[in-house]
Amino acid sequence: MKKKIVVLGGGYAGVLTAKNLAKKFKRGGDVDICLIDKNPFHTMLTELHEVAACRVEEDSIKVSLEKIFAQRNVDVILDTIESIDYDNKKLIGKTATYDYDYLVLSSGSKPTFFGIEGAEANTHKLWSYEDAVKLRNHMVGIFAKAALEPDEQKRRKLLTFFVVGAGFTGVEMVGELAEWLPHITVEYELDPAEVSIVNVDMLDRVVPTLPEKLSAKVHRRLEKMGVQVMLKRGVVGIGPDYIDVKAGDEIKRFDATTIIWSAGVEGADIAFTSGKALGQAAGRGRVQTDEFLRAAGREDVFIGGDNIFYIPEGSKMPVPQMVENCEASSHTISVNIAAAITGHKMESYRPKFHGVMVCVGGRYGVAHVGTDNMKFALPSFLAMFTKHFINIVYFIQLLGWNRVYSYVCHEFAKVKNNRSFVGGHFSNRTPNFWMVPLRVFLGGIWLYEGIKKVQEGWLTDPKLEAFFGGANKFYDSILGPAAGWKGQGTEESMHSIFSFVYAEENEGGGNAAAAVFSASTAVVNAVTTTAGAAADAVTAASGAVGAKVGDILINWNIFGFIKVILVSATDVAFKVQVSFVDWMTNTVVLASPGSQMFFQIMIVALEIIIGLSLIGGLFTFLSAGMSLVLQLMFVTTTGLYMASWWMFFAGIAMLFGSGSVLGLDYYVLPWLKKRWKNVKFVQKWYIYND
């Protein structure tokens, strides 16, 4: 009989646990896995403030559960679980009842209000996707309303914002709001001086999880951004348009239309009731577990993420309610459930936490990271870089390339008002249609090169050996035999030998120049004969009259198998010689006349296809990529000359859709993407982007 594993909750711990279990039981077999959540999407709770303060679009913080588990042994069920019968192993939801053999309780947490009068009814929360969208819409509406309010006192009241809580969530929210302020006030033609942003908390310093020095840096940054930080002050009451703050024995009322609550969390309702039902309730809705993350005294119920109350060996504090704990616990739970089913030994939970960081807006952050024994602070740029890197690592686990691409677009390419730690340097601010002429011109050059090769007989006679050999002798003529140059050569080099070799008078005067010119003419004729004739011509010219063929600008030997060469004649030639490429050229490409013809035909076909594709704007990204591949082939065989360097950089410019407008991609790609993303292996490996 099949074992039924139910994961309750689609948060960080729930999603990763279900994915890990799906890997362990990827063939299905005797195990059914299902994940139950009230929402059809996973929410990035750590990024809510970015949506709330209008830095990124709302779809950046939610990920479809169906996409995450596409083609995996996980069923996604949408329901709200109201109670759990642990004795009979049943979950009772609003729409159905679900049996289980093993249950993973990872229902997450919710805001807690500490019994403060009016706090729940009169504040905006920041603990769900809906909260972030609602708060953003509210604040945009407030600024729009203030822009129409003629009375200054009423306008100032509208533009007073309180954020209650100076922990991670509160500081990140207030920092994001302060960063947004200069832009939205310009948009609605408001005076920034009329806006008040206040962060209030009973704490004696902001983000006390950080060392005091870093807390002080965050505090200074907030004040620099115009935030009034009220510490050692407790909130005792909140109304529809006011907040009561107590300092010592004095209570002061402040007018405020917008109050954001971020003063703490507690376990979700089902976690509260579960803790009581299991007899293992601990600390605001968390559940006491054993070392294997099972609810104490139960072998069929595992606790994950924020719901865990467990003090690891050697630690004095329970594991923190943070994402790293969710990730670590998901691994242990999946291993131990698999062990319980297969009869193997379970592993103890030994989490290693690598520090914390906080962002104050999109451009500034602090971080305290490292190991348990040694942690250190990172400067702001590295702290922000680390934050984005960690998010990308998480997204690789979650939805592969699809989500990484989306994240990079939201955080960098589509970021608003340069609100990124790299500013707006990576943002798409130039309309793509300005790249169309470059795309068509690059395509035209490739098409011309392909047609020219056809006319020169590339489809009928082997020519690669002569081309490679001629280019080789060209570099030898400049570097000299002592350099040990064993280059190969290509078409570009061969054409350039004749155009760019020059004579510099030493003792032979004008006769030296004439001799080298004659040698160049001999080399031109040698293109259709042999590389040996070309070599003899160049050697004779340079040796007979002492002419200088060119200058060596760079001649580097790297690790013994890569050589970088830059020489100057009448133009500059660049080559990167790679031992493996040389071996491939000698043993495969030039192995026989038949192999030469195969590669010649392939090159001609690619050049024509790339040219037509770029001109028509069809598969622009792939064509630009193939253009770069051909350029790299040339630079590692015969080298490139300055006259054609632009083609390499034009290929880079065409990547990722640049210049694809006014082309066939406009019609073809949406049609293909719609069908491509429905292919089973594509869904499973997330090799698509929305």
* 545: β partners: none
Q: Please report which confidence band the pLDDT of residue 430 belongs to, taking 50, 70 and 90 as the band edges.
A: low
510, pLDDT greater than 50: no
Q: What is the mean pLDDT of residues 84-107?
A: 97
Q: Which pLDDT band, with edges at 50, 70 and 90, does 534 fall under?
A: very low
Mean pLDDT of 355-360: 96
Distance CA 518, CA 305 (A): 79
pLDDT in tens, 58-67: 999 999 999 9
Lowest mean pLDDT among 115-124, 448-457, 527-536: 527-536
Which of residues 52 and 524 earns the better pLDDT score? 52
Burial level of 112, CB count in 10 A (0-12/13-18/19+)?
middle
Share of the chain above pLDDT 70, in %: 90
Residue 662 has pLDDT above 60, yes or no: yes
pLDDT band (50, 70, 90) for residue 548: low
Q: What's residue 376's pLDDT?
A: 95
| pLDDT score at 43 | 97
pLDDT (tens digit per residue) in 582-591: 999 999 999 9
User: Range with the lowest mean pLDDT among 14-23, 110-119, 323-332, 425-434?
Assistant: 425-434
Residue 492: per-residue pLDDT:
40
Looking at the domain covering 3-111+267-352, what would its CATH class be?
alpha beta
pLDDT tens for 285-328 read 899 999 999 998 899 999 999 999 999 988 889 999 999 999 99
Q: Which residue has the higher pLDDT, 593 or 285?
A: 593
| pLDDT 10s digits, 290-301 | 999 999 889 999
Q: What is the pLDDT of residue 26?
A: 82
Say whether pLDDT at 518 is over 50: no
Average pLDDT over residues 206-231: 97
Mean of the pLDDT values across residues 237-260?
96
How far from 229 is each of 166, 203, 226, CA to CA, in Å? Answer: 9, 11, 9
Which residues, 6 or more positions from 569, have their beta carbon under 8 angstroms from its beta carbon? 478, 496, 500, 501, 502, 549, 550, 551
pLDDT level of residue 530 (50, 70, 90 thresholds): very low
* The pLDDT value given to residue 532: 39
Q: Which residue has the tokens 């293909």?
A: 672
Eight-state DSSP code of residue 444 = H
Quick one: CA dihedral 674, 676, 677, 680, positive or negative? positive
- What's the mean pLDDT in 182-197? 97
Does residue 424 carry a pLDDT above 80? yes
Bigger pLDDT: 10 vs 275: 10
Q: Is the pLDDT of residue 496 over 50?
A: no
Residues with Cβ within 8 Å of 673's Cβ and at least 6 positions away in sequence, in order, are: 688
- State phi, psi for 6 to the nearest 5 degrees: -115, 125
The full set of domain ranges for the chain reads: 3-111+267-352, 119-260, 434-456+594-685, 464-581
pLDDT in tens, 665-686: 989 989 999 999 999 989 989 9
Whether pLDDT at 481 is above 80: no
Q: Check pLDDT > 80 for residue 549.
A: no
Give, in words, the CATH class of 119-260.
alpha beta
pLDDT at residue 643 in the model: 86
592 falls in which pLDDT band (50, 70, 90)?
very high
Fold match between domain 3-111+267-352 and domain 119-260? yes
**What gap in Å lies between CA 98 and CA 80, rounded to an integer?**
12
